[in-house]
Amino acid sequence: MFIGCIIGTRFALKHQKNKGNIILLSIFIALCGAFLAAISFGIVDWMRILLYGLGGITFFLAIFIPYILMAIIIGVIIGILLGIYYYIRNQKPMKESLIDNEFYESLK
């Protein structure tokens, strides 16, 4: 869940055309990826329990709820961290080169 969430969020932010609201977008993407992973983990574990002769929707909920809680925590943390990273990375540098300004001023 952790690795897939990082890869998906990084890919989405790397190929984003609109550079606004990067942090909110990264949280949303990370949560979606973590929820999909939680659903797949829950279904696999539920199928394993069904093969042993147990089953029912209550077992699915008992397995699924911890995965969802883990997905929320992991998705928000990864979304915030990658969102901040890409927000800082996409900031235009505000360097003012004094050497260049002095050089151009001397040419006038």
The string of pLDDT tens digits covering residues 1-17 is: 778 888 888 888 787 77
DSSP assignment of the chain, as one string?
Answer: -HHHHHHHHHHHHHT-S--SSHHHHHHHHHHHHHHHHHHHHHHHHHHHHHHTT---HHHHHHHHHHHHHHHHHHHHHHHHHHHHHHHHHTSPP----HHHHHHHHHH-
Q: Give the type of residue at 63.
A: I
- Flag whether pLDDT at 97 surpasses 60: no
Tens of pLDDT, residues 8-45: 888 887 877 776 788 888 888 889 889 999 999 988 88
pLDDT of residue 108: 66
pLDDT of residue 48: 85
What share of the chain in percent tops pLDDT 70? Answer: 83
Tens of pLDDT, residues 45-77: 888 888 887 777 777 788 889 999 999 999 899
Does residue 78 contact residue 2 with C-beta atoms inside 8 Å?
A: yes
Radius of gyration from C-alpha coordinates of the chain: 23
Residue 44: is it exposed, middle or buried by C-beta count within 10 angstroms (0-12/13-18/19+)? exposed
pTM listed for this prediction: 0.72
